[in-house]
Amino acid sequence: MINQVQEHLKTVENFTEQDSEAIEAFRIKYAGKKGVLADLFAAFREVPPEEKKEYGLLLNQLKQAVGDKVKDLQSQTSAQQSTNQVTDPFRPAFPIEIGSRHPLSLVRNRIIDIFSQVGFSISEGPEIEDDWHNFTALNLPEHHPARDMQDTFFIQTNPDILLRTHTSSVQVRYMENNQPPIRTLSPGRVFRNEAISARAHCIFHQIEGLYIDEKVSFADLKQMLLYFTESLFGKSKIRLRPSYFPFTEPSAEVDIYWGLKTETDYRITKGTGWLEIMGCGMVDPNVLSNCGIDPEKFSGYAFGMGIERIAMLLYEIGDIRMFFENDIRFLKQFKGSL
């Protein structure tokens, strides 16, 4: 055993390679996790008691020699200038940090899961849209005042091309290419020409859903909303407030009863206990016929929500801008979240 260490000492002393790759190979061979030194240290247990002292001394000598040799050779080679030079060959590797999913992805995936359990599939479409798919087909003809509900980014050279203001445009495309029964969910990024504040952003994410079949009624819509709010928030009390969207008739805003237990509850619900989470309604027959579906035979419902808004509620985030700053301290908090 002692001979072995002495042999290695000689080899180390005689090692004179100048090439930085060879030096690195040498370092790994001796000082690596599964290298010669590790083996020799592990073998200490098997050394006969009377040799232990000498073995130990020699081994430390060898370790020192390896360290000195690597340092010497490195300082002689140009590797010294390179940033990855090793100053301490026994230094453990940096720990590799595992990242976490973005909170918006987490919430989107949860919503998709909930709807896919009842048969919805995912459809996606372009972020740069034409007027037809974003507005006209959705019962918003040119000059219709409701176009102002969503401030739009147009492409200057061609007013027919714009950044989609909602993912309803994806549903138009889906209806144009598929006949009922339709159950589809369109998640995606949308754009509105709005000033950025704690509650609004010019880029955000939506998930919209569409269900079309024979004899679909408002009762079906309400049932689905109950299933959804219960699955996502664990809250089963909802309220439908009459509202207006050009593409649905009748239309409603959905509120969930959040409760008034804590101070935060008071603040976020403005003392009412209720929180608005999405818009919905029965698809206007005009929209169906614009998209090649017979409104005499089929009916359907649609709904749409902002992912940021839902994520802010679920994670109690007070400022929408945090989603887009990519501050690692913010993102790290979602490690291990569903």
Q: What distance in Å separates the CA atoms of residue 37 and residue 139, rounded to the nearest whole number?
A: 77
Smallest gap from Cβ 136 to ligand PHE, in A, equals: 14
Between 115 and 245, CB nearer to ligand PHE: 245
Between 103 and 279, CB nearer to ligand PHE: 279
Between 74 and 165, CB nearer to ligand PHE: 165
Tokens describing residue 228 = 């959804």
Write out the residues near ligand PHE by the rule CB under 6 A: 166, 168, 208, 245, 248, 251, 279-281, 302-304
Between 258 and 303, CB nearer to ligand PHE: 303
Smallest gap from Cβ 230 to ligand PHE, in A, equals: 20
Smallest gap from Cβ 295 to ligand PHE, in A, equals: 16
Smallest gap from Cβ 305 to ligand PHE, in A, equals: 8
Between 36 and 278, CB nearer to ligand PHE: 278
For ligand PHE, which residue has the nearest CB?
A: 304
Our CA dihedral for 107, 191, 286, 244, rounded to 10 degrees, sits at 70
Q: What distance in Å separates the CA atoms of residue 103 and residue 106, rounded to the nearest whole number?
A: 5
Long-range contacts of 148-151 (CB under 8 A, 24+ apart): 150/192, 151/192, 151/193, 151/194
Smallest gap from Cβ 120 to ligand PHE, in A, equals: 14
